[in-house]
Structure 1
Amino acid sequence: MVASRRDAMVAGLLSVGGMLAAGPAWAQTVSVSPGQDAPAETSPVVVELFTSQGCSSCPPADRMLQEMVHHPQVLPLSLHVDYWDYLGWKDGLADPMFTRRQKAYARAQGSRMVYTPQMIIDGQGFVKGAHEVEVADEIARARLRPKSVRVEVGKAAGGGYHLEVLPTEGLAAGPMQVTLVHYLPHKQVEILRGENAGARIDYVNVVTFWRPVADWDGRAPLKLAFDPVQDRPGAVLVQRAGMGPIEAAARLP
């Protein structure tokens, strides 16, 4: 019997976790079933998918992202780039900012090339294309990496939020950037021209806002209050400067 893509991904996560002799952090992860709430102290693995409506290779990766939204221990984010718009279809979800972000990742890796689809897991696992086993392996590895940072986000009076970023073991060598993200949970698009002409594609967790809200040196706890910018779900990410690893993330409650 051939397992579904979702079953294959979950099986990959579990098998890699077993092979790497996971500790308590991984035990927390695998104890959470799809649809259950993740433990409050668990930072989800951030999966950035760089995609485009004008890319014929992207729909399988877009479908993989749909499967990830069922797992609270993973925070999938769809970042649409604009460099395929010249092929005959302008991606209405694209933002040049995401093209710049992907290029910055490439430069940090010593490369001049960008491509779609590409998944970047926690800022340090790079997967070209829609390869489920590779993605599952990278997610499992990310769950096993020690986290030097913890993020706590709560609701504040008046509709805003209060945020605390803490080093987990005394010091978390900085500098780091704290970023606020908002995303559209679902958007179906009918593509009329270009490489995907005639397709109707469902996109999930489409990023519509991405902006740094603070810099942090990783020493003393960082506390700040902020208001949501959009009336959409969101998250806070803490990433090392220079397109380094994403050390922590938390969804907005």
Structure 2
Amino acid sequence: MRLLWAALSLAAAVSAGPDRSAAQSAEDPVVVELFTSQGCSSCPPADALLAELAGRDDVIALALHVDYWDYIGWTDSFGDSAFTTRQKGYARASGHRTIYTPQMIVEGHDHVVGYKPMKLAELIGRHGDAAPLADLTLRREGDKLHIRAEARGALPRKLLVQLVRYLPEGTVDIRKGENAGRTIKYTNIVTEWEVLGGWDGTEPLEMEVAVDGDKPCVVVLQEPGHGAIVAAARLR
């Protein structure tokens, strides 16, 4: 894994180019969604790769556990039918009829099916180089999350403002199914994905929402219909 990750990091560094600073990377992170399942024998390598990505400031790595493998003997303790629906939405938007695990979606646009670290590195670098269409900042005061966004130009269309909460890690002893007998540590496990409203970019976005607990907060600005992610920000 470390050798594979070294290759991934190298590929990302090469594709990012010499002009992209660490500050820019942290300010405009690339969103990587992993659709995974505790009942999928092909998923642990991708789960481990997501754990490596979770340590990077220039990436927001999110694990969405689906429920369609539960029938083979093990119910995913993090599974949610809403995440299965989200993955199906991405499939429809891209003209695909079938969904798979593991699958990573980069910036709501590019699909990586299976464990393909080099392809993922290329996509992260490519999206990281792209000029963001909006500036997005978050600030939390107690149980209030303040969201501010400002368009850098005309937006392609009205965007969905979405709030994501996740559990940083969780370890599961899997007793049945394809991974029976394995103890697997999962990272950045999404527990909530909520649409807060819409924004057309003509005026700066100013929004305040109630949040509780100490789970990290992520805000994602995305084109409707499971389209491209325009901007994202995180408070750990």
- TM-score w.r.t. the length of structure 1 is 0.89
Amino acid at match of 2:12: L
In the other structure, the counterpart of 1:251 is: 234
Identity %: 42
**Mapped contact 1:182–1:230 kept (Cα < 8 A):** no
In the other structure, the counterpart of 1:168 is: 152
Between Structure 1 and Structure 2, how many residues are aligned?
A: 236
Q: Which runs of at least 4 in structure 1 moved beyond 3 Å after TM superposition?
A: 38-41
In the other structure, the counterpart of 1:124 is: 109
Matched, 1:60 2:60: no
CA deviation after TM superposition for structure 1 residue 180, in Å: 0.5
Amino acid at match of 1:189: V
**Mapped contact 2:158–2:200 kept (Cα < 8 A):** yes
2:80 & 2:213 partners in 1: Cα distance?
A: 16
The correspondence of residues 1-80 of structure 1 with structure 2, limited to 5 A, is: 4-18=3-17, 24=19, 27-28=20-21, 32=22, 38=23, 42-80=27-65
1:201 & 1:54 partners in 2: Cα distance?
A: 11
1:107 & 1:13 partners in 2: Cα distance?
A: 29
The one-character-per-residue Cα deviations of 1:96-121 (angstroms, maximum 9, x if unpaired) are: 00000000000001111000000001
In structure 2, stretches of 5+ residues that fail to align are: none
Residue among 132, 135, 141 paired with 2:126? 141
CA deviation after TM superposition for structure 1 residue 230, in Å: 4.1
**Mapped contact 2:143–2:212 kept (Cα < 8 A):** no
Amino acid at match of 2:13: L
Deviates more, 1:64-73 or 1:75-84: 64-73
Matched, 1:220 2:203: yes
In structure 1, stretches of 5+ residues that fail to align are: 33-37
The CA RMSD measured in Å over matched residues stands at 1.7
- TM-score w.r.t. the length of structure 2 is 0.95
In the other structure, the counterpart of 1:111 is: 96
In the other structure, the counterpart of 1:190 is: 173
Q: Which secondary structure does the structure 2 equivalent of 1:250 belong to?
A: strand
The one-character-per-residue Cα deviations of 1:122-150 (angstroms, maximum 9, x if unpaired) are: 11111001111001011001101221111
1:5 & 1:201 partners in 2: Cα distance?
A: 19
2:15 & 2:137 partners in 1: Cα distance?
A: 28
